[in-house]
Chain A
Amino acid sequence: MQTRLIDLAEVIRSKNSGPYELTMDILFRTEEDFKRVAAAGVISVDSVCQMYKITPDKVVGILEFPPARAIKITIRRPLCSGDLGETDVYGAQQHAPLLNLTFDLPE
C-alpha cells in the first residue's frame, strides 16, 4: 500500500541556507516512521531530482538527523537569491513537491 509522506511528517519546510542553497527539512512524528523511511531510502538523489526536475549535480546533500527525527535535503538554488528572475527570495515555499510524495514501505 502506498504511504504518503505528509501522513508521517509533522513538519515539511523549505528555506534558504545562504543565498545559493535551498534546504528542505522533513521532521517525522515518530522515531519508528523516521527509521522506516530512512531505511527504505525513499528520500534519495533520484527521488529529489524527480520531484524538483533537477539533475543530480544540483543536489548538495541528503542527511539524516536522528535527534530531530529528521531528513534534510539541500539543493542548489536555480538562481542566487534575488537575482533577476527570482520567484521566492526567502525560499520558504519550495517544499510543496514533498507534500505529494508517496512510496511503498516494507512492512
Chain B
Amino acid sequence: MIMNSESHTKLIQLKELWKTYFTGDIPLHALRGINLSIDKGEFIAIMGVSGSGKSTLMNILGCLDKSSKGQYLFMDIDTTFQSNMELAWLRRKNFGFVFQSYNLLSRTTAYENVELPLLYASKYKKNKRKEIVLNALDKVGLRDKIKSLPNQLSGGQQQRVAIARAIINNPFVIFADEPTGNLDTRTSFEIMSIFQKLNEQGTTIILVTHENDIADFTKRKIVFRDGKIISDVENMNQRNAEEEYKKLPVEEEPA
C-alpha cells in the first residue's frame, strides 16, 4: 500500500456518504450524505449522542462495514468496489483498532494478543516478532506483563495491551471507539497520553467519545447529530494529557 502520492494528498475523503439500514419497514438512515476529509497526522474526536451515526462512521472508515451510497477514498483508493478480501488486506496494513471493551482474546496472554496481527500481516520469524512485540509493549509501558492473561490485568492495562496490538503493524490510522468509556479519570488520562505520543510520532488517530474532557486532548472535534455533521472545529487549545495526569491528586492506597 505504498503510495506515490504528494505530501498534500488527503488520507481520507468522504463524498456524499450514506448508510441506510433496512431492518424494519422504514429504512433507517444512519448517515445522511457525509462530506469529510482527513489529513495525515490529525487527531480527531468524533462526538455525538447515541444513535447519531458516529459509530457507523467509524466502522465504515475502518473498512469493517460498507457504505450504502457515496464514496470513501482511502489514500485515493476508492474502497467502495473493493472485495472483502481486499478490504481485509487494507485493514491489516493501514489500520489499528481500539475498542471500548478492549476486545482482547480471553485466556490468551498479553504477548500473544499483541503478536496476533503480526501473524496475519507478516512473515517475520519468531525472534523478529518478539522484538517487535516487546517494542510495542514498551511503548505502552507493559513490558513486565507479557505473560499475564487479560483477566489478570486491570482495565487500563488491558486497554494498553489493546493499543500495543493496534500499533504493532505501524498503521497509518488508529480507530479508537470510546477507548476510555470503561475507565476512571486517572486511567483515561494515561491512555490519552499514550495516544498523544503516538500522534506526535505521526500516527493519525480518530477517536469516538462523548466526553468533552477526552475530546479536549485531540486537535479537531467533529460533532454528529442524526447522521449529519453539525459542527467541525479545530481544537485551538489542546490539553496535554501527561501534564493533566500529573496534576491529578494521587489516590491514597487503602491500608
- A and B from one complex: no
Which positions in B face A, CB cutoff 8 Å?
none
Residues of A within 8 A of B (CB): none
